[in-house]
Amino acid sequence: MFMMFVWLIVCIAGSVMQGQIDFIRTSLTIALNDSMETITVRSTEGFPNTGIIVIESERIAYSSKDGTHFQGNLARPLLRGADGTEAVAHIVGKQISTVPGAMLNSSASYNIAVMADASGLQAFVTAPLAFFSLLGSFFFLPIQFLGTDLQILTYIWAVIGVGMLAALTMALAGGRRVG
């Protein structure tokens, strides 16, 4: 359990320090009610071109954006209350983030990070790749931000991780054999 905790902390710190996780957050500049087809915000910079945003606990799917607006189009209009959430009115100044960032922030009860997400058909391709990338980061920690002098920690961690994997495999394969 300790190794999982260290891995999680190092991955978050490493991704933030290397610029892979952006601290993206914006806020409403015009109150949002049920009949609006455009969400006006301070800035959409850093958000994906299409995706889902979170305002309080409501998820809203959008299919396009410009500098200060999230919006839909004819083929895919703005979808309020996406993923089974409830569409409600929001006042000026409410914070907006992406789904992974909102989940990370709410689970930590602190505003840590907002990350881009893949949606639709892209998620079918990117989800398995992200899983294998995540699995690889468990064995080779992203600690390049510490500098080359401490790079040996990556190799020590890899040896410990491979040893744990080997021990788990042997334990699952069968214990003692009496013959």
pLDDT tens figures, 117-149: 444 555 556 666 666 666 666 666 666 666 667
Q: What pLDDT shows up at residue 117?
A: 44
Q: Can you list the alpha helix ranges (DSSP code H) found in the chain?
A: 2-17, 99-108, 121-139, 152-173
For the chain, how long is the longest CA-to-CA vector? 76
Tally the C-alpha atoms within 13 A of residue 117's C-alpha that lie toward its C-beta: 19
For 14-58, write each residue's pLDDT tens digit: 655 555 544 578 899 999 987 788 999 999 988 888 889 999 889
- Dihedral over alpha carbons 10, 16, 17, 20 (to 10 degrees): 110
What one-letter code names the amino acid at 22?
A: D
- Kindly list the distances between the CA atom of residue 19 and the CA atoms of 22, 74, 89, 153, in Å, as whole numbers in the listed order: 6, 35, 34, 21
pTM beyond 0.75: no
* Minimum mean pLDDT range among 36-40, 98-102, 156-160, 165-169: 98-102
149-177 burial string, b = 16+ CB within 10 Å, else e?
eeeeebeebeeebeeeeeeeeeeeeeeee
